[in-house]
């Protein structure tokens, strides 16, 4: 992924998002291959929200929402859910020359399934990066239904940090 090295980062968000869309397709193909290799004879269903959410944080001290989305899972008739995996792709842009340490949480159906401190850091310079969170959520996604997915972040310096987030839920199922 040399195109995501700092020296190759484009100056505008549209070019970066176009690159990330191509990268995301590669991640989805890879995830599909791994899931099907580990649990054969199952199909992979994905439910996702196609639009992206953009949020800018300027305050520190608590977890702040990067936006919530409801994702509907509709399995085929006769299918039973075996496993569910949540995926959040988050582009982070540090828009001021201030050092940042960023913590992330991911929630599905109101339950925190991922929580990690200092996931991403920036030196005292403007910059951007991408984090992909892939986490099992089988306990929360029990079958057909609509599930809230929400990422949260906590920044260390009260400055202009923009997050663009996209959510997906993958459901492995077995046909009866």
- Pair of tokens at residue 122: 């920036």
pLDDT of residue 172: 87
pLDDT of residue 138: 94
Q: Any idea what the CATH number is for the domain that residue 108 is in?
A: 2.60.120
Digitized pLDDT (tens) for each residue of the chain, 176 residues in all:
455 555 555 555 556 556 656 666 666 666 666 555 554 444 555 555 556 788 888 877 788 999 999 998 888 888 888 899 999 999 999 988 888 899 999 999 999 999 999 999 998 888 899 999 999 999 999 999 999 999 999 998 878 889 999 998 888 888 87
Q: Determine the Cα–Cα distance for residues 139 and 111; give it in Å rounded to an integer.
A: 10
The set of residues, in sequence order, having a beta carbon less than 8 Å from that of 77 and lying 6+ positions away, is: none
Query: What 3 state SS string does 105-117 have?
Result: EEEECCEEEEEEE
pLDDT of residue 173: 85
- Pair of tokens at residue 132: 């992909």
Domain of residue 33: give its range: 2-175
pLDDT of residue 39: 47
pTM exceeds 0.85 for this model: no
pLDDT of residue 76: 87
Number of domains within the chain: 1
pLDDT of residue 25: 61
Q: Determine the Cα–Cα distance for residues 161 and 102; give it in Å rounded to an integer.
A: 10
């Amino acid at each position: 992924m040399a195109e995501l090295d700092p020296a190759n980062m484009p100056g505008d968000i549209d070019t970066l998002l176009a690159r990330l869309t191509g990268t995301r397709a590669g991640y989805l193909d890879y995830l599909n291959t791994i899931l099907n290799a580990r649990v054969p004879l199952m199909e992979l269903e994905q439910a996702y929200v196609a639009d992206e959410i953009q949020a800018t944080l300027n305050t520190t001290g608590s977890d702040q929402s990067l936006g919530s989305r409801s994702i509907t899972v509709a399995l085929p008739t006769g299918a039973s859910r075996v496993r569910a995996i949540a995926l959040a792709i988050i582009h982070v842009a540090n828009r001021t020359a201030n050092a940042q340490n960023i913590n992330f949480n991911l929630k599905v159906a109101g339950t925190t399934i991922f929580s990690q401190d200092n996931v991403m850091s920036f030196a005292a310079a403007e910059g951007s990066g991408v984090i992909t969170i892939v986490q099992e959520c089988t306990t929360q996604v029990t079958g057909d239904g609509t599930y809230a997915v929400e990422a949260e972040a906590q920044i260390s310096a009260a400055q202009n940090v923009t997050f663009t987030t996209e959510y997906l839920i993958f459901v492995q199922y077995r046909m009866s």
